[in-house]
Structure 1
Amino acid sequence: MTKVFNYITDAFVELKTNVTWPTSGEVQKYTIIVAIFSILLSLATWGVDTVFEKALSVFFNWLKG
């Protein structure tokens, strides 16, 4: 049990002393960038899905026809 406690203690010490934490402004800036790219990627995925849906619909209607 002491090994687990020592591991957790060492992890917190590592986080306090060796990790460079971003400022609040950096976090906000990066959050906005990630949100914008997420929206763009979802729109691109929706667009490709729509194109493939229409292409497959045309293809299967052509096969029936």
Structure 2
Amino acid sequence: MGWFGFGFNRKRGSKQLRQQQVASPEKDDPQLRSTALLELSRRLAFGQSQIVDEVSEAMLHEEDYFVRWFCQ
């Protein structure tokens, strides 16, 4: 145990474990990321369906979305 009962080696080990969890192949699945992003946008939109539609449009038609909003 370190100062104040805190084990620094334990903390270092948990950081390595978190890095291994993030690096797992299922976290890099594009379909999983798209689904998660749509669900997050749905929850953050508080019933505003046009926000979810815009996020979906940006994911499905990236170039068109970019041209529409950033190349004016």
Q: Higher RCO, 1 or 2 (CA under 8 Å, sep at least 6)?
A: 2
**Structure with the bigger percentage of helix:** 1
> One fold, TM greater than 0.5?
no
Shorter-chain TM-score: what band? 0.3 to 0.5
